[in-house]
């Protein structure tokens, strides 16, 4: 060390640079801006010293990165849970509005509901044989029937009655699935 006494603050600053770069050479180069007589051998010696937990710089860096990754994983899981919750709440609002929507807006709402249900299934990893899949199939069937000119007229005339029966059936399916 050439007689120079370095402080714990100097060593901690060097570790912070090492943590960022992972390189003794780069750490030495950057630290020389503040400590011009610092040698690579000194920084290397610091990196091999054990802290109070028995960790050298490499082990300490790995531990901090692992803790950081764990924190990121928790945050990602929390964000995903929030997104799915919001999507499910939005889907429920669409479903609740379907009985009162007019024919033109019904098609848009049905499309949105189907797309949202697909997104939720993909993100949650839900079973494709679930009740949501049945709803999607029902929605797709209604849209397909509305595309047929002959059936579309009949569907428009009978829609309130059909819609009520559809929701009654969906309600029964939900109750059976809950048992």
d(CA 123, CA 149): 36
Above 70 in pLDDT, residue 13? yes
For the chain, the domain total comes to: 1
pLDDT at residue number 77: 78
Give domain status of residue 83, yes or no.
yes
Give domain status of residue 9, yes or no.
no
More confident residue, 111 or 34: 34
Give domain status of residue 49, yes or no.
no
Give domain status of residue 120, yes or no.
yes
Give domain status of residue 121, yes or no.
yes
Give domain status of residue 39, yes or no.
no
pLDDT at residue number 27: 96
Across the range 158-162, mean pLDDT stands at: 78
Give domain status of residue 165, yes or no.
yes
pLDDT at residue number 57: 94
87 burial class (0-12, 13-18, 19+ CB within 10 angstroms)?
Answer: middle
| Highest mean pLDDT (candidates 62-66, 78-82, 145-149) | 62-66
pLDDT at residue number 117: 67
Residue 1: band (very low, low, confident or very high) from pLDDT cuts 50, 70, 90: very low
Residue that the structure tokens 């379907």 belong to: 98
**Could you tell me the residue range of the domain that residue 121 belongs to?**
65-178
Give domain status of residue 20, yes or no.
no
Reading the block at residue 103, the tokens are 């024919």
Contact 159, 116 (CB under 8 A): no
Reading the block at residue 139, the tokens are 């929605």
Rounded to 5 degrees, φ, ψ at 127 are -65, 130
> For the ranges 57-71, 99-113, 136-150, which has the lowest average pLDDT?
99-113
């Amino acid at each position: 060390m050439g007689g120079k006494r370095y402080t714990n603050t100097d060593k901690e600053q060097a570790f912070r640079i090492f943590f960022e770069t992972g390189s003794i050479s780069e750490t030495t180069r950057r630290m020389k801006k503040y400590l011009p007589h610092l040698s690579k051998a000194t920084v290397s010696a610091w990196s091999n010293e054990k802290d109070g937990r028995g960790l050298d710089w490499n082990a300490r860096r790995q531990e901090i990165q692992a803790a950081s990754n764990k924190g990121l994983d928790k945050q990602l899981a929390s964000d995903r849970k929030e997104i799915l919750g919001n999507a499910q709440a939005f889907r429920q609002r669409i479903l609740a509005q379907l009985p009162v929507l007019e024919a033109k807006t019904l098609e848009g709402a049905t499309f949105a509901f189907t797309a949202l249900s697909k997104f939720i299934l993909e993100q949650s990893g839900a079973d494709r044989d679930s009740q949501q899949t049945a709803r999607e199939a029902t929605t797709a069937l209604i849209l397909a029937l509305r595309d047929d000119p002959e059936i579309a007229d009949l569907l428009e005339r009978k829609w309130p009655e059909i819609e009520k029966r559809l929701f009654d059936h969906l309600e029964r399916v939900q109750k059976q699935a809950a048992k």
